[in-house]
Structure 1
Amino acid sequence: MSIDVAREGCIYTSCYCEENVWCLCDKIRRDYPDKIERCYCIFISNKKRAIPFWRQRASKREDGQVFWDYHVIFVYQPSDSHTLVYDLDTTLTFPCDFRRYYEESIKDDRHFKPEYQRLFRVIQAAEFLQTFASDRSHMLTQDGHWMSPPPAYPPIKTEECSNNIQEFISMEKEYNHGVVLNLEDLLEKFMGNSNNT
């Protein structure tokens, strides 16, 4: 049921998770066009732009915890009862069953301080490919140096726009990219009746 994509076969640049997911969406559109309608891009963030995440390769902790300002993952839902997560930054399997990814990487946030509770902007992959643009300026310091080296390929842009990444990272519902869900709604969408957290 999974899409046959190996981690090693994906385009990857550290600290550019949104572009890594865009490239994966593009690969699925080319190689598995019949499955693209069941694929999603999910931006994860909050108003504080500080989200705890676990099982991440960038962490030096045993549990893999990091705090990202935002994170982006690719999700494939081949059926209403089964969902897979493709996260190029995780130490978990690639892909990973959604329930396992939730339990080990996202985790229940009911005991988090309110400012650390996550929101999720869920966008269909085809829509993400058509609308996302980034000139990578958010990765430049005030004196013009890269915080992390950018991808070798040209920046992603659309015919209408060269930079709208902040609209995707923002969890304000005024931006019309996909739908913004809280954790409970996210689990209902991707785990449905199997959700017994």
Structure 2
Amino acid sequence: MSSRLGEEVLAEPTAAGRSSVDGLPIELVRRGPVPPARDCPHVKYYCEENVWKLCEHVKANRPEELTSCYAVFISNRNRAVPIWQQKLQKSEGPVVWDYHVIFLWTNGPRSYVYDFDSCLPFPCQFEMYLKEAIRADTLLQPEYHRQFRVVDAPTYLLKFASNRKHMLDENGQWRSKPPPYPCIRTEETDDNIQDFISMEEPTVGFGNVLNLEDFTHKFSQPLLS
């Protein structure tokens, strides 16, 4: 996973700044299927493995919640997706990732996002994450519109593999220090991360690829009539 800062992605200038964000009640953090962020093993720039480790934790400690959890890959054909409220963010503008991966948990009608790279709460209410971190595609030039590959946690644990070669530079050096544990692999392969990053569905990869509108509809709390 790599990023670019300060890139011009907006369709037109905007003066909108960040809104204030309050933390979630401690009861919600305790009720969630994963520990607080400080107690979760995670390595910078390896978001796909960080999320896999969260899924592994749920399977071992809260197996009844595993089918309510998802790995969500965010990317597009151009491998350029703006996301706001990131810890790398140097200004009001977004960080432009080639891809990003978040953990998503559904609890009844509500959904929550766990993003180690975000300044937002961990977990963050889905609607808040959309408003603060994703924002509307109408603000962006078309080449920066985001797509979302949603993979249920059991499938992600079974099918995801990475030999981490995408994190090597042209000289074979690590762009960022890898996690200390062995590479994640399956019985079939030692690397298929590009199939998860790809937004060419249904011919490639696992799960379902959604645009922002469909992603919002799938996980937003239904409005009361």
TM-score using structure 2 length:
0.83
Give the aligned residue type for 2:107: P
Where does 1:77-156 land on structure 2 (aligned, <5 Å)?
77-79=106-108, 81-156=109-184
Where does 1:1-197 land on structure 2 (aligned, <5 Å)?
1-61=31-91, 63=92, 65-79=94-108, 81-173=109-201, 174-191=203-220, 193-194=222-223
2: CA distance, partners of 1:88 / 1:122: 18
Question: What CA RMSD, in Å, does the superposition of the two structures yield over aligned residues?
Answer: 1.4
Deviation at 1:192, TM superposition (A): 5.0
Structure 1 gaps, min length 5: none
**Contact between 2:34 and 2:58, CA under 8 Å: does it hold in 1?**
no
Query: Aligned to 1:148, what secondary structure does the other structure show?
Result: coil
Deviation at 1:112, TM superposition (A): 1.3
1: CA distance, partners of 2:146 / 2:103: 17
Structure 2 gaps, min length 5: 1-30
Q: Could you report, residue by residue, the CA deviation over 1:114-169 in whole angstroms, capped at 9, with x for unpaired residues?
A: 11000000000110000000000000011101111111111100111100000000
Deviation at 1:45, TM superposition (A): 0.1
1: CA distance, partners of 2:40 / 2:137: 30
Query: Aligned to 2:172, what secondary structure does the other structure show?
Result: coil
2:10 aligns with: none
Question: Number of aligned pairs?
Answer: 193
Deviation at 1:2, TM superposition (A): 2.7
1: CA distance, partners of 2:218 / 2:35: 23
Q: Could you report, residue by residue, the CA deviation over 1:146-195 in whole angstroms, capped at 9, with x for unpaired residues?
A: 11111111110011110000000000011140000000000110015339
Deviation at 1:89, TM superposition (A): 0.7
Give the aligned residue type for 1:193: P
**Contact between 1:44 and 1:120, CA under 8 Å: does it hold in 2?**
yes
2: CA distance, partners of 1:146 / 1:41: 25
2: CA distance, partners of 1:156 / 1:87: 20
Moved over 3 A (4+): none
Give the aligned residue type for 1:19: E
2: CA distance, partners of 1:87 / 1:5: 13
**Contact between 1:45 and 1:170, CA under 8 Å: does it hold in 2?**
yes
Give the aligned residue type for 1:46: N
Give the aligned residue type for 1:148: S
Give the aligned residue type for 2:96: F
1: CA distance, partners of 2:120 / 2:219: 18
**Contact between 1:57 and 1:64, CA under 8 Å: does it hold in 2?**
no
1: CA distance, partners of 2:46 / 2:95: 16
Identical pairs, percent: 46
Whichever of the two has the greater Rg, that structure is: 2
Query: Aligned to 1:193, what secondary structure does the other structure show?
Result: coil
TM-score using structure 1 length:
0.94
